[in-house]
């Protein structure tokens, strides 16, 4: 617990996506556990959707609800990306940018010691600086992704076309294959360029790296030391890995047999051979098209491996088109596979000894959860930073990407089946299993991860004391 005179008040302001809100919330809870005060800022509906705080942390975390202003063509109840089809997310960005005055008023009245903000709030460093409040850009993206996106301020970024993003940037001085494949960059090219008046994600990241006082990254040196060092050298400001924020082990106790959702899943997993089951999940927002779903299903069937597939059957709320499994698929795989179309306890499943591989979209949160338990990865990217994450995991031989067509991203049932068998059971895939187990020793070690947070908070406290002394 922090000493009274050393306690900090930290305001936190994530982007309006639960892939960002949740890691920010986890970091907030970890900081609060050490006795520091948090003002957690988001919209009313997003805050109401967060898990309930433990009673022990309630005195330390204050939720600040800032309503979005009415925005043309943005539904009233749309406060996070999960509430919208992808093409309407720029409207949410514009509404988010309209919170500048509300944020400025809150910071002025509450006067926190630090403000921690996301890539999307490119305007916040100037507000904070005018109020005399130092700022931290907390990136849920890896340092490697930031290095790829943002050149140093005096270095020109000559990338003008999608194909320019399929090679590593010239400002990265060491050998790497970190780059998008052409189908990956095409799927997110609107985020790289400005669309519907909203600033691009890449531009925002460049701006926040320029404007912040400190960079904090959801990462650790054991995973990407050279990228963290390079990021600090590029931007000439302190860069702190704060740990990967793995979920606490006590939250996923297998003793919780009374949980009605977990019990039948656990009973099925208990019957499977250790290390034999493929867990399939692509996050909360990634969606397969009907043709992709059909091919993926046939791939799972063709592999002959037991599987547990968490499948979103509906498209976004603006598109009522339903997708369907191939006729007879569930009957043919009955007993060997389970398709879950509702929420599933991902941590419990990944922690179970029967899991031999995780077919994932390569989102960093899901990767962390899998590596915490030493599960090797089969990678199938959709959007955002997932392509860059996949290249890094491929380089480290922790994950293997399903072979796909370079131009349209198409894949075959055979490529799915062979990828699953390679990573989970074949001798030539043992390297992936071994490397995942090595990462478990780091990501699953809460003392190692906690030390990163202690170093970060120590810097914030020292900075505050030295500034007050002046």
pLDDT in tens, 60-95: 999 999 999 999 899 989 999 999 988 889 999 999
162 and 286: one domain? no
What is the DSSP secondary structure assignment for residue 314, as one 8-state letter? Answer: B
Query: Quick one: pLDDT at residue 95?
Result: 95
- Rg of the Cα atoms in the chain: 22
- For the cut 50, the answer to whether the pLDDT of residue 317 exceeds it is no
292 and 220: one domain? no
Mean local confidence (pLDDT), 242-252: 76
Pick the residue with more confidence: 150 or 428?
Answer: 428
Mean local confidence (pLDDT), 354-361: 98
154 and 56: one domain? yes
133 and 259: one domain? no
Proportion of the chain above pLDDT 90, given as a percent: 81
104 and 14: one domain? yes
Alpha carbons 89 and 14: distance in angstroms, whole number: 15
Query: Quick one: pLDDT at residue 322?
Result: 76
Residue 26 has a CB neighbour count (10 Å cut-off) of 17
Query: Quick one: pLDDT at residue 5?
Result: 54
Mean local confidence (pLDDT), 358-373: 97
CATH number at residue 79: 3.40.50.2000
222 and 330: one domain? no
- For the cut 80, the answer to whether the pLDDT of residue 146 exceeds it is yes
Residue 452, CA atoms < 13 Å, CB-side half-sphere: 24
Mean local confidence (pLDDT), 115-135: 97
Say which range, 250-259, 352-361, 445-454, has the weakest mean pLDDT. 250-259
Query: Quick one: pLDDT at residue 251?
Result: 45
Query: Quick one: pLDDT at residue 87?
Result: 85
Q: Residue 340 is inside which H or E element, if any?
A: strand 337-340
**Containing structural domain, residue 77:** 4-246+446-469
Mean local confidence (pLDDT), 134-156: 91
128 and 155: one domain? yes
Residue 34, CA atoms < 13 Å, CB-side half-sphere: 20
Mean local confidence (pLDDT), 310-334: 78
102 and 227: one domain? yes
pLDDT band at 466 (very low <50, low <70, confident <90, very high): low
Query: Quick one: pLDDT at residue 467?
Result: 65
Query: Quick one: pLDDT at residue 459?
Result: 97
Crossing angle between the packed helical segments 18-33 and 364-371, to the nearest 10 degrees: 50
- Please provide the average confidence, as pLDDT, over all residues in the chain: 92
Query: Quick one: pLDDT at residue 314?
Result: 60
99 and 206: one domain? yes
The residue with tokens 């047999």 is 257
Angstrom CA distances, 10 to 32, 103, 123, 370, stand at 10, 14, 18, 30
The domain total for the chain is 2
Pick the residue with more confidence: 201 or 464?
Answer: 201
Alpha carbons 374 and 437: distance in angstroms, whole number: 4
290 and 373: one domain? yes
In 3D space, the residue among 287, 335, 327 whose CA is nearest the CA of residue 308 turns out to be 335
- Report residue 452: phi and psi, to 5°: -60, -45
- For the cut 90, the answer to whether the pLDDT of residue 196 exceeds it is no
- For the cut 90, the answer to whether the pLDDT of residue 158 exceeds it is no
132 and 227: one domain? yes
Proportion of the chain above pLDDT 70, given as a percent: 93
269-280 pLDDT, tens digit each: 999 999 999 999
Query: Quick one: pLDDT at residue 153?
Result: 73
Crossing angle between the packed helical segments 446-469 and 18-33, to the nearest 10 degrees: 80
463 and 428: one domain? no
């Amino acid at each position: 617990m922090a000493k009274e005179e050393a306690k900090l008040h930290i305001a936190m302001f994530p982007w309006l996506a639960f892939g960002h809100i949740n890691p920010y919330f986890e970091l907030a809870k970890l900081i609060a556990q050490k006795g520091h005060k948090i003002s957690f800022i988001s919209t009313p509906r997003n805050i109401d959707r967060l898990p309930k705080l433990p009673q022990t942390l309630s005195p330390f975390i204050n939720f600040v609800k800032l309503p979005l202003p009415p925005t043309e063509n943005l539904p009233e109840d749309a406060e996070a990306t999960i509430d919208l089809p992808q093409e309407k997310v720029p409207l949410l960005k514009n509404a988010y940018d309209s919170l500048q005055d509300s944020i400025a008023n809150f910071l002025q009245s509450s006067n926190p010691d630090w403000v921690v903000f996301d890539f999307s709030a490119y305007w916040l460093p100037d507000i904070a600086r005018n109020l005399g409040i130092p700022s931290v850009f907390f990136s849920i993206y890896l340092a490697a992704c930031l290095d790829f996106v943002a050149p140093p301020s005096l270095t020109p970024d000559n990338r003008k076309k999608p194909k320019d993003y399929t090679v590593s940037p010239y400002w990265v001085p060491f050998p790497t294959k970190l780059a998008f494949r052409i189908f990956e960059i095409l799927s997110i090219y609107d985020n790289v360029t400005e669309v519907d008046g909203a600033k691009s994600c890449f531009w925002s990241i460049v701006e926040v790296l320029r404007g912040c006082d400190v960079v904090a990254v959801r990462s650790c040196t054991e995973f990407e030391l050279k990228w963290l060092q390079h990021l600090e050298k590029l931007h000439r400001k302190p860069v702190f890995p704060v740990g990967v924020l793995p979920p606490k082990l006590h939250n996923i106790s297998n003793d919780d047999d009374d949980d009605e959702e977990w019990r039948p899943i656990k009973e099925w997993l208990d019957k499977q051979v250790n290390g034999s089951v493929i867990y399939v999940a692509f996050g909360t927002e990634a969606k397969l098209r009907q043709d992709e779903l059909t091919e993926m299903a046939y791939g799972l069937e063709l592999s002959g491996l037991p599987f547990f597939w968490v499948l979103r059957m509906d498209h976004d709320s603006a598109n009522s088109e339903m997708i369907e499994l191939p006729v007879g698929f569930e009957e043919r795989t009955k007993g060997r596979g389970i398709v879950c179309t509702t929420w599933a306890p991902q941590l419990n499943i990944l922690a179970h000894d029967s899991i031999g591989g995780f077919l994932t979209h390569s989102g960093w949160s899901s990767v962390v959860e899998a590596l915490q338990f030493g599960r090797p990865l089969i990678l199938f990217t959709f959007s955002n930073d997932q392509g860059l994450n996949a290249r890094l995991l491929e380089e480290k031989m922790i994950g293997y990407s399903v072979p796909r067509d370079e131009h349209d991203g198409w894949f075959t049932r055979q490529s799915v089946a062979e990828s699953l068998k390679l990573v989970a059971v074949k001798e030539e895939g043992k390297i992936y299993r071994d490397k995942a187990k090595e990462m478990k020793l780091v990501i699953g070690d809460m003392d190692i991860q906690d030390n990163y947070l202690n170093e970060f908070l120590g810097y914030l406290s020292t900075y505050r004391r030295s500034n007050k002394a002046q």
